[in-house]
Homo-oligomer: A and B are copies of this chain.
């Protein structure tokens, strides 16, 4: 009635526990014939390994570091809290995680941090930082030291990172574009705002957005990106100006952080009620804006999944286990007022 154990299959195959273990974990030093004997017993009894017990016996300790952007951005904040949540739950069993916050705008500080964590021995690192040559070098040094490296949210494809955990940002941009095109009815001008085009995710989103607009909505014209560079006043000034000047404006696409600022700027404008607004990331601000009909749709990624996925991937990397790609592929969520979680 109860599930078969290694003992059962040892008995069934007529071998010892150790041999069963060797076969199950594909360790060397077992005769071909014995291997098949064990595998047959496994198949016959329908044995499934008890991960709990295995991890217990293995006594493995994983030491990970998460490097996340410092600063007031709500998305980064939600990432940090998701990390805390994961840490308190089972997913982080046998795992110690240290969070390091870096000023996203200061490449030097980032590199210094990366070299700092390099000092003490650690097994893996997950990072969400902008792409610079110095960062790529720092990653290379971590890899040389045998540390598993995953990028988070925004990829660094030209670095030696092992894996990227995050959504396909071009696809996210395309989804935003598709909704925008349909919502505005296929014509007019779209304002695109972002905090900075230095981070790869923004660039990719813009690319995907433009692709869909050009192909499926040729009568819509997308204006050049406006970068806020963490300067609320600058953002407010430009948005106000564009709304006043471009009479054909029908929508605003906010590609990255700085939604709070954008919303603030929009509120001051009477015409803004008729604009279709699409933004990224579900935060307290965008959630409220959806409810208040100030934003029409949000393209989001589940930060809980993001963090758990990063932890799982780092572990697999450490153990040289295959990564279950299907499970780690993050979904691009489309959130309307009606399906707010």
Question: Does any Cβ of B come within 8 Å of A17's Cβ?
Answer: no
Task: Identify which of B48, B177, B212, B341 contacts A329 (C-beta below 8 A).
Answer: B341
Given the known A-B contacts A3-B96, A339-B171, A339-B175, are A48 and B334 also in contact in the complex, defined by CB atoms under 8 Å? no
Contacts of A172 in B (CB 8 A): 339
Interface residues of A in 50-91 (CB under 8 A from B): 50-53, 55-56, 61, 88, 90
Complex: A335 Cα to B339 Cα, angstroms: 12
Smallest CB–CB gap between A168 and chain B, Å? 9
Number of copies: 2
Contact yes or no, A333 B331, CB < 8 A: yes
Contact yes or no, A174 B52, CB < 8 A: no
What 0/1 pattern do residues 301 to 341 of A give for CB contact below 8 A with B?
01000000000000000000000000001011111111101
Contacts of A338 in B (CB 8 A): 171, 174-175, 177-178, 208, 212, 332
Complex: A299 Cα to B53 Cα, angstroms: 40
Main secondary structure of the interface of A (DSSP, over half): mixed
Contact yes or no, A52 B93, CB < 8 A: yes
Question: Does any Cβ of B come within 8 Å of A179's Cβ?
Answer: yes
Interface size, A (range): 35 or more
Residue in B closest to A330 when the chains form the complex, CB atoms:
B341
Contacts of A183 in B (CB 8 A): 182
Question: Does any Cβ of B come within 8 Å of A158's Cβ?
Answer: no
Contacts of A329 in B (CB 8 A): 341
Smallest CB–CB gap between A66 and chain B, Å? 17
6 contacts between A and B (CB under 8 A): A3-B96, A50-B56, A56-B56, A171-B339, A175-B338, A334-B334
Known A50-B93, A331-B333; 17 more pairs at CB < 8 Å: A2-B96, A3-B94, A51-B52, A52-B52, A52-B93, A52-B94, A53-B56, A171-B339, A172-B339, A174-B339, A178-B336, A178-B338, A302-B331, A333-B334, A333-B339, A334-B336, A334-B339
Q: Which residues from chain A sit less than 8 Å from chain B, CB to CB?
A: 2-3, 48, 50-53, 55-56, 61, 88, 90, 93-94, 96, 171-172, 174-175, 177-179, 182-183, 185, 208, 212, 299, 302, 329, 331-339, 341
